[in-house]
Amino acid sequence: MSREDISRREFIAGASLSGFAVVAAGAGPASAANTERSIVGTSTKSATDKAKKQAESVHRVLEFGDIGDAVAGKFSEEALENLEKNPNVRYTEADGQMEAIGETLPWGIDRVDADEVHADGETGGDDTDGEGGADIAIIDTGIDDDHPDLQANVGSGKAYVNCRGSNCNYPWSDDDNHGTHCAGTADAVDNSKGVIGVSTAATLHAVKVLDNSGSGSFSDVAAGIEYTADQGWDVGSMSLGASSGSQTVKDACQYAYDKGVLLVAAAGNDGPCSDCVGYPAAYSTVIAVSSTDSDDTLSSFSSTGSEVELAAPGGDVYSTVIGGYDTYSGTSMACPHVSGAGAQLMDNGYTNTEARDQLTSTAENIGLSSNEQGNGLLDVAAALGGSTDGAPTVDSLSASEVETSDGDAEFDADWSVSDADGDLSSVDLVLTQDSDGSTEDSATVSVSGDTASGTTRLVAAGDDGSGNSYTVEATVTDGAGNTGSDTASVSETESTSSAPAIDTFSLTDNSNPAWERYTVDWAVSDSDGDLSSVTVEMLDSGGSVLDSASTSVSGSSASGSDEVRTKGNAAEIELTVTDDAGNSTADSKSV
């Protein structure tokens, strides 16, 4: 076992028995940021192997399950160009950099009513759900494992960037203060000294992805998120970010979200600004948190945008730092308030999606715009006041394309929902187009009892054959107004059917004094193999049909002969071939 995998709680126990402490050696993971590195995202193991072979050196390989893999390393331009031609390479990107987002008395702990749940015995470490207390990963610069307000709560850790300096008991120890400050807000011990966290007895895990200057690479941040998911920890707290997104980090967030991790991130400190939420906070799998001051106004530095889900105290927050305490400001300080609250809920049996819904549905409206406060200011007491049975759940949701002939893109959404209280009320389904977010269709289904399921048809009018992709969102509501939701993706098959062709079209004049009569010899083909019919029409000069013949055909080629005749004056003969998709080709000859 490497030093960074030893539990701090286990280590304290061992040290007390043996009478000495151990200081970890400095060798270990590489530095946090390297602008010469690139990341290659793959969809198959063979493509991953090819990327590793093409790399001059491999920094790390990330595995995101069904999403795919990512290989971070140094690649030549030629290697990247070759890899980009591989259909199983999803993307290539520079291994960019993320930063700790800005740097306060726990006035914030009081403002979000965390002290009220402490008085009720809620600590985040109560093992309320029978699965042990909650686990919070501080994905940051590390944690001061010797701090008196944190020591009892610090568990195992992992370093992707080694601690540097004299305070490094472990590779994942803090050498910057930022991670320790966030850890104190989320989960400082209630020990009548120093500060107190939103949660007070959850297990803290230092996942060190940022160096002593607060910087870290995309691949190291993604590795930390992946590790958090693989450990089965409840909350991933990310007071870090970048102004531009990374597919690798996005994949890591999706992987963790799918494995049940509640992801929380700082919105960013680019304010005053609009639509400026950073990444990973802007990803749909992450709760983006903006910052407020003690008077409930938006902090001047806080980023805002439609991705913000919650606001929390971030101005002048007093918390732990290495060997002491200090006051910092930033959305970095707001983020761990929500992380600690999420840990409290998950200790009470909530899943990550249920905890997210509970936090947002119980938030306090403080009068800011939705881009500033999201659903409102975090209210821990209100969130913990609801029963874990109160929120209904969408147990399954899938969508499939339905083939029709009316020109619309139609989908069947199959869903099932449940509610432990037995007071299901309704299921709302919404179909949106991914390219522009427009709503194509919606439906509401009344339900009751403790379980329900069904299939609902949703239609995107006029989109048949478009190849567009869509998202179906199902929201279940119970009689108390509690909700649960889930989404599913579906694509409309792009029409690739081609028109049939006329290969041969010839006329033989068999007319006599009484009749104009022509034999039409024809041959047709269709590359799609779905020939349907061939029609021969004799027309007068005004385009009226004097006579016609029709033949049913199939497959990819057909030939035949038809006779048309009239006692009138024919002007032309037209041949039309049609396929099953309705595509047609016509030709005519004058007579």
Sign of the CA dihedral with 276 first, then 317, 101, and 280 last: negative
Q: Are strands 409-418 and 451-460 parallel, antiparallel or unpaired?
A: antiparallel
Statement: residue 530 has pLDDT above 60: yes
Question: Alpha-carbon distance 441 to 445, whole Å?
Answer: 14
Whether 84 and 138 share a structural domain: no
- pLDDT tens by residue, 89-106: 999 999 999 988 654 335
Q: Which domain holds residue 222?
A: 99-385
Task: List, for residues 333-350, the tens digit of each pLDDT value.
Answer: 999 999 999 999 999 899
Give the three-state DSSP class for 444.
Answer: strand
448 and 520 both lie in a single domain: no
Listed residues 491, 525, 556: the one ending a domain = 491
Portion of the chain with pLDDT greater than 70, in percent: 85
CATH code, 478 = 2.60.40.10
- Answer yes or no: do 177 and 47 share one domain: no
Contact by Cβ (8 Å): 198, 109: yes
In this structure, the answer to whether residues 85 and 16 fall within a common structural domain is yes
**Catalytic (active-site) positions:** 140, 178, 332
Residue 400 belongs to a domain: yes
Kindly state the percentage of the chain with pLDDT values over 90.
Answer: 70
Tokens of 180: 């320790």
- The whole-number pLDDT of residue 558 equals 96
Two structure tokens written together for 99: 């930063």
Mean pLDDT (whole number) for 177-185: 96
Answer yes or no: is 476 within a domain: yes
**Omega into 29 within 30° of 0, i.e. cis?**
no
Give the up-direction half-sphere exposure of residue 538: CA atoms within 13 A in the CB hemisphere. Answer: 22
Residue 269 lies in a domain: yes
Query: What is the mean predicted confidence (pLDDT) over 250-266?
Result: 98
DSSP 168-202: -SSTTB-SSSHHHHHHHHHH---SSSS---SSSSS
Structure letter (DSSP) for residue 479: T
451: left (phi over 0), alpha (psi -120 to 50) or beta: beta
Q: Are residues 193 and 241 in the same domain?
A: yes
Q: Please tell me the distance from the alpha carbon of residue 126 to that of residue 115, in angstroms, as a whole number.
A: 16
C-alpha dihedral, 76 to 81 to 82 to 83, nearest 10°: 90
Q: How far apart are CA 154 and CA 133, in angstroms?
A: 13
Tell whether the model's pLDDT for residue 20 goes beyond 70. Answer: no
Chosen domain end from 55, 74, 96: 96
* Predicted pLDDT of residue 123: 53
- Per the structure, the count of domains in the chain is 4
- Do 439 and 531 lie in one domain? The reply is no
The distance of Cα 29 from the centroid of its chain, to the nearest Å, equals 28
Grade residue 358 by pLDDT with cuts at 50, 70 and 90: very high
Cβ atoms of residues 189 and 152 within 8 Å: yes
d(CA 175, CA 183) in angstroms, rounded, equals 14
In a shared domain, residues 322 and 401: no
Question: What backbone torsions phi and psi does residue 142 show, to the nearest 5 degrees?
Answer: 110, -175
Q: Check pLDDT > 60 for residue 61.
A: yes
Residue 92 lies in a domain: yes
Judgement on whether residues 74 and 87 belong to the same structural domain of the protein = yes
Residue 33 pLDDT = 44
d(Cα 477, Cα 480) in Å, to the nearest integer?
8
Residues 474 and 563 in one domain: no
Tokens of 259: 């494995």
Is 1 a domain residue? no
Last residue of a domain, one of 65, 96, 127: 96
Quote the pLDDT of residue 344: 93
Q: Is the pLDDT of residue 510 over 80?
A: yes
CA 221 from centroid of its chain's CA atoms: 16
Instruction: Give residue-wise pLDDT tens across range 399-432.
Output: 998 865 556 788 999 999 998 878 899 999 999 9
Q: Which tops the pLDDT comparison, 491 or 417?
A: 417
Over residues 28-57, the mean pLDDT reads 81
Mean pLDDT of the residues in the chain: 86
**What gap in Å lies between CA 176 and CA 158, rounded to an integer?**
16
Residue 355 lies in a domain: yes
Q: What is the CA angle 563-568-569, rounded to 5?
A: 90
* CA pair distance 281, 284, nearest whole angstrom: 8
- Type and span of the H or E element at 12: helix 8-18
pLDDT band at residue 534 using 50, 70 and 90 as cut-offs: very high
Question: Following DSSP, what letter does each residue of 373-441 receive, concatenated?
Answer: HTT-B--HHHHHHS-TTSS-EEEEEEEEEE--SSS-EEEEEEEEEE-TTSBEEEEEEEEEETTT--EEE
Cβ neighbours, 10 Å, residue 146: 16
Task: Give me the CATH number covering residue 226.
Answer: 3.40.50.200
- pLDDT value, residue 391: 76
Q: For residue 454, count other CB atoms closer than 10 A to its CB.
A: 13
312 & 237 share domain: yes
Cα-based distances in Å from 97 to 35, 102, 220, 249, 279: 8, 15, 9, 11, 11
Residue 314 lies in a domain: yes
In Å, how far are 184, 186, 194, 322, 366 from 317, measured between CA atoms?
Answer: 10, 12, 13, 16, 19
Q: Is residue 2 part of a domain?
A: no
223 and 91 in a single domain? The answer is no
Whichever domain contains 42, its CATH number is 3.30.70
The alpha carbon of 58 is separated from its chain's Cα centroid by a whole number of angstroms, namely 27
Helical pair 352-361 and 331-347, crossing angle rounded to 10 deg: 120
- pLDDT tens for each residue of 130-162: 455 899 999 999 999 999 999 999 999 999 999
In 3-state terms, what secondary structure has residue 206? strand
For residue 471, which amino acid is it?
Answer: T
Q: Are residues 19 and 157 in the same domain?
A: no
Closest by alpha carbon to 401, among 411, 414, 391, 392? 411
pLDDT at 23 over 90: no
CA distance 81 to 68: 20
Quick one: pLDDT band at residue 446, thresholds 50, 70, 90?
Answer: very high
